[in-house]
Amino acid sequence: EVQLVQSGTEVKKPGESLRISCKVSGTSFTSQWIFWVRQMPGKGLEWMGRIDPSDSKTNYGPSFQGHVSMSADKSISTAYLHWSNLRTSDTAMYYCAAGDDWIGFDIWGQGTVVTVSS
Amino acid sequence: SYELTQPPSVSVSPGQTAKITCSGDALPRQYTYWYQQRPGQAPVLVIYKDTERPSGIPARFSGSSSGTTVTLTISGAQAEDEADYYCQSADSSATIVFGGGTRLTVL
C-alpha cells in the first residue's frame, strides 16, 4: 500500500524558516512525481509545485515561485517543502501528493498544519 | 492565467443523481482529475484521466467529457458522498490548475 506520511504541526513566527517533510512508502520513490498543495483556512486547493525525485527537477506554480523551494532525499524516500522567510499569509494546511505522471495526484498525505503568527 | 470553473454548490436528495461540472478552455487538450474532500480530511482521487475510476472508488462515481466541459456524476448519491469536490487539469505550459471546488450537499 502506497502511503505518504507528513511531518507534524508547526507554529512559527514571521521571518523564520521552515522545512516540512513527506515520507513515501510502498512504492518506488523515484518513479513518482511529488506535488505540494496549499489549502488556506476555509479555501480551496492551490498547486504549489512538483518535484521529480529521480533528478530533483522542480516546477513551481506562479504564485509560489521564489517563495518556497522543494527538495527530495532518495536515500530516505522523503520530499521536503522549504521556506526561508515565512509570512503570516503562509498560515495554511499543506498537503503532499504523489503520482506516476506529471499531472495527476494519485495519493495524498494527511496534511501538515503551518501557523505563522507573531 | 488559466482557470477552471465549477459551481460553488450542488444539492441532491439521497438516491438521486448529482452532476458537477468543470469548464475550461484547455480541457479538450489535457486530462481532468477529480478529488473528493470530506470535512477535516485530505483529498482523495475519485476520477482520473477524465473517465477512469481508481480501485476502491464506488462504481456510482463516473466522469465524462464534452468539449470544454467535464462532468463528475454520482449516480445514486449517498449521505457519505457529502463533501467538496475539486476538478484539476493543466494549461499549455504544464502548470497545474484546480477548480474552485463544489460543495455537494445530500439531503
Contact A1, A26 (CB under 8 A): yes
Q: Looking at residue B65, what is its pLDDT? A: 96
In total, the C-beta contacts within 8 angstroms joining chain A to chain B are 61
Report the distance separating Cα B10 and Cα B104, nearest Å: 5
Rounded to 5 degrees, φ, ψ at B44 are -130, 135
Q: Looking at residue B1, what is its pLDDT? A: 83
Whether residue B48 and residue A104 make contact (CB cut-off 8 A), yes or no, is yes
Determine the longest span between alpha carbons in chain A, in angstroms: 40
Q: How far is B5 from chain A (nearest CA, A)?
A: 12
Report the distance separating Cα B18 and Cα A113, nearest Å: 32
Whether residue A61 and residue B35 make contact (CB cut-off 8 A), yes or no, is no
Q: Which residues of chain A, if any, have pLDDT below 50?
A: none
> Which residue from B33, B37, B94 is facing A104, i.e. has the nearest CB?
B33
Q: Looking at residue B44, what is its pLDDT? A: 98
Q: Which residues of chain B, if any, have pLDDT below 70?
A: none
pLDDT in tens, A5-24: 999 999 999 999 999 999 99
Determine the longest span between alpha carbons in chain B, in angstroms: 41
Whether residue A111 and residue B42 make contact (CB cut-off 8 A), yes or no, is yes
Return the residue matching grid coordinates 505522471. Answer: A101
Chain B residues with beta carbon closer than 8 angstroms to that of A45: 35, 37, 43, 86, 88, 98, 101
Chain A residues with beta carbon closer than 8 angstroms to that of B100: 44
pLDDT in tens, B65-76: 999 999 999 999
Whether residue B43 and residue A108 make contact (CB cut-off 8 A), yes or no, is yes
